[in-house]
Amino acid sequence: MSFLRAHRWGSLDAAQPYLYVLPALSMTVIWVYWPVLGTLQLSLYEWNLLPTRVPVWLGLDNYRQLLNQPELNRALVNTGLYVLGLVPFSIALPLLVALLLRRARGAVGTFYRGVIFLPVLMAPVVVAVIWRWILSPNHGIGWLLSPSLALWAIVLITGWKLLGFSTLILSAGLTNINREYFEAAEIDGATALQRLRYILLPLLSPTLLFMLLLTVLLASQWTFPIINALTQGGPRSATTNAYYILWQFGFQTFNVGLSSAAGVLFFGGFLVVAIGVMRLIDRYSFFDA
């Protein structure tokens, strides 16, 4: 009897760590994996979301049709351009701003941090209205009407809104770096550039790579509301991206099967990219012991 009781308590102790993560795991299954399975199922059917219409089985025809869509290649190329264009706004510029803000103390530092973070708090639609007026061809510079400049205008607007968030993350990373490293290097005669190259960047590498991962995975999501409010993917599909083409298939043409097939393909592509970036993080991140 005592053996059974001890075995039962031992089993409960072994299961205790898993019980702690069970609520979070349950929410992940409900809100992430279950919709992914639903999207995979919808990608095999033709359906327009109307309850009076019976879904028609198509198998892999939606994927074949998707790969023949001329908009797909443009959306994928633009998605890559958005990622490249937002990297300076998510890593380089925020790092420079965070280093400058590190020297600002007291109320002055708090004021500048608030000013830089303010665009993050603004609704994307409000941001789009402001920038529509700035870029209007009547009393602005008219970039949104140019196929060669419209995409970079979206990058500029999104980057301006993203800058405060990235600065906040990098400032938090800088706070965790012990100043004694820089003081010791300065005493040893290291220049500012050497301190940046051999102390700051290695110790900040986990935060920098984390921001790179966010930029790669979320660039399309960050730019989507600005595209939807300002250009609707134009002119001549110059500003469309992966998220916007999903929205077009699903909510403009109501081709849910095609939209779901695109979602599955994009999910797989982003998953491969995320795994690659995670390996870079594991390989090149340096953690202070």
pLDDT single digits (tens) 90-133: 999 999 999 888 877 778 778 888 888 888 888 888 888 888 88
The mean pLDDT of 54-61, rounded to a whole number, is: 88
| Average pLDDT score, the chain | 86
CA distance linking residue 225 with residue 79, whole number of Å: 14
pTM of the model: 0.86
252 falls in which pLDDT band (50, 70, 90)? Answer: confident
pLDDT at res. 3: 47
pLDDT at res. 10: 55
226 falls in which pLDDT band (50, 70, 90)? Answer: very high
pLDDT single digits (tens) 187-216: 888 888 888 888 888 888 888 988 998 999
Task: List all residues 6 or more positions away from 248 whose beta carbon is below 8 Å from its beta carbon.
Answer: 71, 233, 240
Report yes or no: 86 and 156 within 8 Å, Cβ to Cβ.
no
Report yes or no: 169 and 207 within 8 Å, Cβ to Cβ.
yes
pLDDT single digits (tens) 142-188: 888 888 899 999 999 999 999 999 999 998 888 888 888 888 888 88
pLDDT at res. 12: 63
Specify the residue for token string 């982003």: 270
pLDDT at res. 4: 46
pLDDT at res. 166: 93
Q: Topology of 64-284 in CATH?
A: MetI-like fold (1.10.3720)
| Residue-range domain boundaries for the chain | 2-42, 64-284
The mean pLDDT of 23-40, rounded to a whole number, is: 89
Is it the case that residue 83 has pLDDT exceeding 90? yes
Is the sign of the CA dihedral 221, 222, 225, 230 positive or negative? negative
Amino acid at residue number 128:
A
Element (H, E) at 237: none
What angle, 0 to 180 degrees and rounded to 10, lies between the N-to-C axes of helices 106-121 and 150-175? 140
